[in-house]
Amino acid sequence: MVSYAIELNPALCDEANRLQLSLHHFGHSILGTWWKSEGETIQCSQLYYIVKGSANVLCNDETLLTMTAGNWYLLPTGTKVTYWCDDFMEEFYFHFKLCDIDRVDLLENCVGPYTMPIFEDKTELFLKLLKSSSPVDGIRLQNELFSNLLNMIDACGITLKKTELSPCVSKAISYIHSHLSIGLSVSEIVKHSYVSKTTLEKYFKRELGVSVHEYLYNSVMFEASQMLLKTDLSIRAISEQFGFCDQFYFSKCFKDKFGKSPRDYRNTVPM
């Protein structure tokens, strides 16, 4: 009689199910000397595949990175960048967030930049994927992002940020993203978190490093910035969708946050 040993790893399954990879932008650019910006803080992680040429990125005012053909580069969420191109550069780029189930960005504020060589030419595949909208190619694109991100993590010894959030913070985050509006009050968020305002603020500051209002504001502004890049909705329509009293106040807040007006942000070639 043959006996079988079965070994399970439910903890790892839970970790895998907690991961949320959201790809915000995938594109191809041929950049020239006109491509430049100063003192911009990136709102999601950015992975680059350089095909030809080179460009420069000053990260966090201290690390000068020259991106050159034949390499992958990763800039984590929260990196402050000043960038310019002296001649030309051809690239494919992925803008993404890797979060846990509580929407905590696992790469936020990792000390980058990171780089590794291109081990396999993906140019033809990426050009093909740019023209596709099929679910299968969506899986293929996500697989490419996951695979190369994992290679980068292994090659550079990157440690992913992992924060165990208190139940009240998890409830608050869920409510915020289900009712995302600049008009959402902290009192309403507190009500649906089932703790006092003092307790919620204490846990938010300790576990996320920001106040409840700051978290709400940052979430609204990030989603608004994505709508500017992904849709043709007017600035007025976007401002109304996120509860701003008028588009002029929205534009002021947006420029204070990103250093550019909504119109200029929409017309900027992605990094």
Return the ∠ at Cα 82 (arms to 28 and 182), rounded to 5°. Answer: 85
CA distances (Å), 198 to each of 40, 172, 186, in order? 33, 13, 11
Contact between 160 and 100 under an 8 Å Cβ cutoff? The reply is no
Q: C-alpha 7: how far from its chain's center? A: 36
Q: How does pLDDT run along the chain (271 residues), one tens digit per residue? A: 666 778 888 888 888 888 899 999 999 999 999 998 888 889 999 999 999 999 999 999 999 999 999 999 999 999 999 999 999 999 999 999 999 988 999 998 788 899 999 999 999 999 999 999 999 999 999 999 999 999 999 999 999 887 789 999 999 999 999 999 999 999 999 999 999 999 999 999 999 999 999 999 999 999 999 999 889 999 999 999 999 988 999 999 999 998 889 999 888 766 7
The H or E element that residue 253 is part of is helix 247-258
φ, ψ dihedrals at 12, nearest 5°: -70, -35
Q: How many CB atoms lie within 10 A of CB 121?
A: 11
Alpha-helical runs (H) found in the chain: 10-18, 123-130, 135-156, 167-178, 186-191, 197-208, 212-230, 235-241, 247-258, 262-267
Contact between 72 and 90 under an 8 Å Cβ cutoff? The reply is no
Question: Which contacts of 187-190 are long-range, i.e. CB under 8 A and separated by 24 or more positions?
Answer: 189/216
Q: How many residues belong to the chain? A: 271
- The domain locations on the chain are 10-156, 167-267
pLDDT the model gives residue 18: 86
Distance CA 180, CA 226 (A): 14
Closest CA to 77 of 95, 61, 93: 95
pLDDT the model gives residue 2: 65
Cα atoms found within 13 Å of the Cα of residue 167, Cβ hemisphere only:
3
Distance CA 90, CA 26 (A): 14
CATH code for 10-156? 2.60.120.10
CATH code for 167-267? 1.10.10.60
